[in-house]
Amino acid sequence: MPDRGVVSYSIMIHGYAKNGFHNKSMELYSHMRILGLPPNSFTVVGVIVSIAGLQSLVLGQSIHGLVVKNGLDSDMIVGTAMLDMYAKCGSMIHSYKVFEGLKNQGLISCNAVVAGFIRNGIFEEGLVLFNQFRNLGLVPNAASVLALIRCCIALESQRLCECIHGLIVKVPLVLDVSVNNSVLDMYSSLMDLDAAAKIFDEMECKDVISWTTMMGLLIDLEYASDALELFCRMRDSGISHDTVVIMNLISTCAILGDLKRGRIVHAQAVVCGFGSELTLVNSLIAMYSKCADLNSSRTVFDQTTQKSLVSWTAMILGYAQNGHPREALNLLFEVRLEENFCLDSTMLVGALIASGGLAALELCQQLHCFAFEAGFSSHRPVQNSLISTYSKCGSVELAHNVFKEMGYLQDIVSWNAIINGHAGLVDDGLIIFNQMVEENRIRPSQEHYGCVVDLLARAGCLPDAIGFASKFLEGTGPDVWRALLSGCLVHGNVGLAELAAIRIFEQDPEGSDQVVLLSNVYASVGRFQDAESLRSNLKKKGLLKNPGISLLNQIPYDFG
């Protein structure tokens, strides 16, 4: 273009700024100034937008001086852009001064300053200003409402959320999809399923964000089957799904342990062209691991050329949580050789689980030292894993030391780990249970009671275990009966073992664990024919697992 004037430069500056090419926009502005071309208000607004994108307070103050010098500060559009720029640069003092200096404080400038306060975490001032503007008769628009919703999400205030929702209905803005999506997100952040479902059902227009937000809430609340049903409704309504939807589906399959559907979702991701996206790949590794399909998990992992720390962590946790500690530790040592990666707390948890699986006390202590050095020793998941791992390694004393060091960080998982760690030490375990209830005022869950039943059963106190379960556990679940059945195996109580197996079968007719345990009880008291009969029935049904192999003195032994 041979003849470049103020207009052509201004259009290009605006175009670059609007599309996020802020450095290019500033380069053009500098070139324009070198040529001696005077900027107009349109030019200045484009430059201000770029400075806001770059979040450069120094450049912002520089352009502010130019605005005042050229007499453009009285321009409403320039002033509003200026106060928004200062807000995005984190200086609400300058932003509010510009706002106060505006001759005509309209809806756009009011929205901008309210949004600025909220964006910078100054919520009270933002809400006070909003109320002042409402009293002056200003009607909020979608932009101001979206800012208020961000405030509600940050403050986690149910009452404030309901007030803002009422305002949206009153204005009204209920037909705006972006506003409805934000309201849906607001209630989702509060885990208020009833309110979110009501909003979702009343929405006349739903986009992929609406469906994804609702699915995400159902998954967070572990209503996995409902999330899958919602996806089917979304698909039937003709909404095309994106990577977020696919990731939600993968999470759903992981929660349900539904390997068949998980594979279908994986295939769908590949067909849609999402199969190589790293975040989705990481979700697939975790999903296959939670479905106990480690071969598929490892295949996805190995086929990923650009692995992230999350990829390695997901695979290590998959091995550790599925009883393959050696493979988990091999991967851990492999990732340590990678220059770009440093162990995080989640990977450390996987390493500790693997150490517990091998009863490797020395390795656990080394990992504990690493946790101190890396600053993870006060992370609750790491501490809980240390308690569990030290207990499995036979060092109840070290487990108890970690438990005491946790102090106020102790949660249900911590108490479960320390109670389980005292298996065989009945008196100590019961003392800890009583401390939890009486001194720490923690209300025991079914899992806690189950731990105590397991503790008593393994110690041979079977009548006490039954009495405890009858007293505290209404509708005793299969896990408690399994604990009793395991205790019967240790102490050869056939009568109680048969009763426990019947109770488990009534509640879990598809399970095979109770049959194997009962078979082992029969074998332990010499009733080999009964034991073989039970195992034969399992084989006919295809429910008998492959025999385990153990390594004793470097020689493999088959325990089939």
Q: Using one digit for the tens of pLDDT, what is the confidence trace for 4-37?
A: 788 888 899 989 988 989 999 999 989 888 888 8
Look at residue 519 and tell me if it is in a domain: yes
| 74 band by pLDDT with thresholds 50, 70 and 90 | confident
Q: Report d(CA 483, CA 466) in Å as an integer.
A: 10
Domains of the chain: total: 1
**The amino acid at 281:** V
Q: Using one digit for the tens of pLDDT, what is the confidence trace for 108-145?
A: 888 888 888 988 889 888 888 888 888 877 777 788 88
pLDDT at 550: 41
Q: Using one digit for the tens of pLDDT, what is the confidence trace for 381-407?
A: 899 899 888 887 877 788 888 888 887
Look at residue 524 and tell me if it is in a domain: yes
21 CB burial (10 A radius; 0-12, 13-18, 19+): middle
DSSP strands (E only) in 504-548: none
Look at residue 362 and tell me if it is in a domain: no
Count CA atoms closer than 13 A to 246's CA, side-chain side: 26
Residue 556, SS3? strand
300, 322, 385 from 288: Cα distances, Å: 9, 11, 23
pLDDT at 194: 93
Residues of the chain with pLDDT > 90: what percent? 19
pLDDT at 192: 92
CATH for 509: 1.25.40.10
Q: Using one digit for the tens of pLDDT, what is the confidence trace for 233-289?
A: 888 888 877 888 888 889 888 888 889 989 988 998 888 888 788 999 999 999 999
Look at residue 24 and tell me if it is in a domain: no
Mean of per-residue pLDDT scores for the chain:
82
Look at residue 323 and tell me if it is in a domain: no
| 422 band by pLDDT with thresholds 50, 70 and 90 | low
Look at residue 439 and tell me if it is in a domain: yes
pLDDT at 23: 92
Q: Using one digit for the tens of pLDDT, what is the confidence trace for 329-374?
A: 899 888 877 766 777 888 889 999 888 888 788 888 888 998 888 8
φ and ψ of 70, to 5 deg: -90, 5
Please determine, for residue 40, whether its predicted confidence score (pLDDT) is greater than 80. yes
Q: Using one digit for the tens of pLDDT, what is the confidence trace for 499-558?
A: 878 877 777 776 666 777 788 878 877 788 888 887 777 666 665 554 444 443 343 434
**Hunting for tokens 């500056």 — which residue is that?**
13
Look at residue 241 and tell me if it is in a domain: no
pLDDT at 559: 35
Q: Domain of 522?
A: 422-560
Q: Report d(CA 324, CA 331) in Å as an integer.
A: 11
Is the Cβ–Cβ distance between 249 and 243 less than 8 Å? Answer: no
pLDDT at 551: 41
4, 430, 466, 471, 488 from 456: Cα distances, Å: 88, 9, 9, 14, 11
What token pair was written down for 235? Answer: 């698909």
Q: Report d(CA 188, CA 416) in Å as an integer.
A: 30
Look at residue 452 and tell me if it is in a domain: yes
Give every CB contact of residue 10 below 8 A, 6+ residues apart in sequence.
39, 40, 42, 43, 46
Give every CB contact of residue 419 below 8 A, 6+ residues apart in sequence.
429, 432, 433, 436, 448, 451, 452, 455
